[in-house]
Structure 1
């Protein structure tokens, strides 16, 4: 048994939801099976840029092992599971003819979850854009809003009899700022970035309307990554850089989606892409705010970067995770409060977690004390926010499984469950039992 105390949950709602999250490309594998088309991440992996030349070809093999993974969730005791649909698995060309084999996989997954008493939370887009649409301009093409709406309609009509919780997009600020074709990988013009931001927002609004029209009792939101952007020094240039990044990272998507306007500082840049009625198309009624939060980021001025910033040094003495992310539970509590005050929506924390390079000990156990301490302190901070009136209704750990962590490949592990990538064997870590204990204790 773990000696790490459970956090204080006294201020959380009696109907508070405890869950776990994953995403399609990071766990499914089977990238060339049953008619699935390539995504932009399949193509990017082929470039050899990922650490250790890793790819998502097998990942955790969730495509073939989903029943085992649902059984893990049932043992864990979660009430909900947030996952994403692989757009190219059900629409290999991104549009046109649907792939029945891909749809059937998600039928099986949803049915398995419901049989286990776990509510499916379905995210439409977690970064794996069909390559066929990238070749038509991807998010640079305004037609993406229509293509995304058509895709959302397919998902809603197929699964809406069993799934009621839908997220349109996961972390639009991250895949716009740091996508494969923008941000630090390609100093593209700022105009391309602003075009992409606007088209992603249009796609969100279109998907909200489509899901609402096709799913009786649908509950809809978007998942935003929000991290405080702090200057690396007291210098004026670093303060300005941090303020500029804060606008793009934390406000460029939720402000137009939930408040009907872009942040003042970027309106002139969005204007060339704005058509009459666009803001009303974007700002559609949603039911909740999905929040992903890990840590603050420290920012320095960089005249050579597209947006005039880069990541800077962290202050001496700041506690860090093994992957050098700051540990700052108060920043989490403050972020919850700022979201509550600015957007006035119920909040579900849909990602929060701790990255490490966990390995089994000589007995085969994975003792991840740091992860348990991190989760304890962050849930304490969430409870503190709730005690001050923040309407937070759920918390989902990232992640159920160790998985493909984008540019880091398989070198970083966030899971409550250890995955041996050679054998694909799953081994619950100490944090798995600890979180199960928290869920059990936190239920009325």
Structure 2
């Protein structure tokens, strides 16, 4: 059972669940165009089992069932994302009416159930036609994304409770362009530096468009990792600061200080697009809240070879199904750090937090005690932040449903609801029932 109750948090504190479009909707119907994730998954060796998002959880056809799960669970907020290629199959120009209608029904369905719609415009599935033009390494993507923002929010912007342009800047830029683990699968430091800047520039243009439409409650969603050196040496401290720089400080600095960290730019500056400093006012315009996605910490050691001269090592604590160390204190430290050093007085939300677990259905039920323990530990750190008057206003678990976990395929299960990917049957897990018991009280 969960140890904390609603009454242990501030009266205006919100509980939610998060998902993303490509991971649950099923991308092979509804008029959606091809994405760079379809291309990436079709390339041998990129994704476990060569799996893709063609069917996923079939949320596109089972939306009402899934929204009822949110209502029955007592959730206040549902954080979802829109698919660029579903709405604009070529990324620009032609609009797919069926795709827009889907998100229209989604928002209305949430409101009818008394749930606040929290929209994220982009969660990694770039239209293939734009990938062909260089994708995030091409500065023009900021204008393309502004057009997409205009199309979507002219339809649903009057009814969403909150909106953020892009989910997890780091993953879009670094995972896809430096490590090659995500689409488009590049390993190119110059493309990475440009993507790091352009993803923030696109964020800025999108915020500008939404402000122009009269929208409020606009924010940014950053995935952050608590970073520590492997030992007390100067070399380890430098390595940890570099990791913290390209993972955390680059995006927080751009969004809230209108500047990138000077120490990091000593290495990245030669690869940055010309005139990038002129974009900082647009990138750093006013936000109404900041979302933090938190999963683990990283222990960093120095290493040889080319920049960034580091490697990560396993921590001593328990691990999730994906081998991520479970370190709840990191969530508290990041909430405090972001508040004290960047956001000052605007609200913070934990927009994603959860664990992958090898969940199995047994006698019609799923006993995911490990996830309940995970929730208890992390919610306790959120409460600590609230008790210290850090303005944390909500906690959204990742994820409502087991889903397509990108390059890991369908094996890792993050959901509080189990999905049988053959029958597509939904089975609420013990963690769902534990949350529902608290949230409905």
- Structure 1 match to 2:438: 438
* 1:408 to partner: Cα distance: 1.1
Cα distance between partner residues in 1 of 2:376 and 2:311:
31
Do structure 1's residue 211 and structure 2's residue 207 form an aligned pair?
no
Worse-superposed segment, 233-242 or 397-406? 233-242
* 1:309 to partner: Cα distance: 2.4
* 1:305 to partner: Cα distance: 5.8
- Structure 2 match to 1:309: 310
Cα distance between partner residues in 2 of 1:419 and 1:215:
38
Cα distance between partner residues in 2 of 1:354 and 1:312:
19
Residue pair 2:180, 2:187 contacting (<8 A) in 1 also: no
Residue 86 and residue 184 in structure 1: after superposition, are their counterparts in 2 closer, same or farther (change >3 A)? Answer: closer
Do structure 1's residue 422 and structure 2's residue 422 form an aligned pair?
yes
- Structure 2 match to 1:331: 330
Cα distance between partner residues in 2 of 1:273 and 1:312:
36
* 1:1-80 superposed matches below 5 A: 4-7=1-4, 12-29=9-26, 31-48=27-44, 49-80=46-77
* 1:231 to partner: Cα distance: 2.5
- Structure 2 match to 1:194: 193
Residue pair 2:300, 2:312 contacting (<8 A) in 1 also: yes
- Structure 2 match to 1:354: 355
Cα distance between partner residues in 2 of 1:20 and 1:391:
19
- Structure 2 match to 1:381: 381
- What secondary structure does 2:165 align onto? strand
- What secondary structure does 1:124 align onto? strand
* 1:302 to partner: Cα distance: 3.5
- Structure 1 match to 2:228: 230
Cα distance between partner residues in 1 of 2:76 and 2:5:
19
* 1:23 to partner: Cα distance: 0.2
* 1:38-437 superposed matches below 5 A: 38-48=34-44, 49-179=46-176, 181-185=177-181, 188-216=187-215, 218-268=216-266, 269-270=268-269, 272-275=273-276, 277-304=278-305, 307-314=308-315, 316=316, 318-342=317-341, 343-344=343-344, 345-361=346-362, 363-437=363-437
Residue pair 1:187, 1:305 contacting (<8 A) in 2 also: no
- What secondary structure does 2:355 align onto? coil
* 1:101 to partner: Cα distance: 0.9
Cα offsets for 1:180-219 (capped at 9, x unmatched)? x432556744332211111111111111110011134x21
Cα distance between partner residues in 1 of 2:29 and 2:6:
44
Residue pair 2:293, 2:353 contacting (<8 A) in 1 also: yes
* 1:9 to partner: Cα distance: 5.6
Residue pair 2:77, 2:117 contacting (<8 A) in 1 also: yes
CA RMSD of aligned residues (A): 1.7
- What secondary structure does 1:411 align onto? coil
Worse-superposed segment, 114-123 or 229-238? 229-238
Cα distance between partner residues in 2 of 1:294 and 1:188:
24
- What secondary structure does 1:415 align onto? coil
Using structure 2 for the length normalisation, give the TM-score: 0.94
Residue pair 1:242, 1:299 contacting (<8 A) in 2 also: yes
- What secondary structure does 1:14 align onto? coil
* 1:355 to partner: Cα distance: 1.0
Work out the number of aligned pairs and report it.
Answer: 432
* 1:254 to partner: Cα distance: 1.8
Residue 305 and residue 125 in structure 1: after superposition, are their counterparts in 2 closer, same or farther (change >3 A)? Answer: farther
Residue pair 2:74, 2:440 contacting (<8 A) in 1 also: yes
- What secondary structure does 1:377 align onto? helix
- What secondary structure does 2:158 align onto? coil
Cα distance between partner residues in 2 of 1:125 and 1:275:
22
Cα distance between partner residues in 2 of 1:240 and 1:74:
48
Residue pair 1:56, 1:404 contacting (<8 A) in 2 also: yes
* 1:276 to partner: Cα distance: 6.1
Cα distance between partner residues in 2 of 1:173 and 1:276:
19
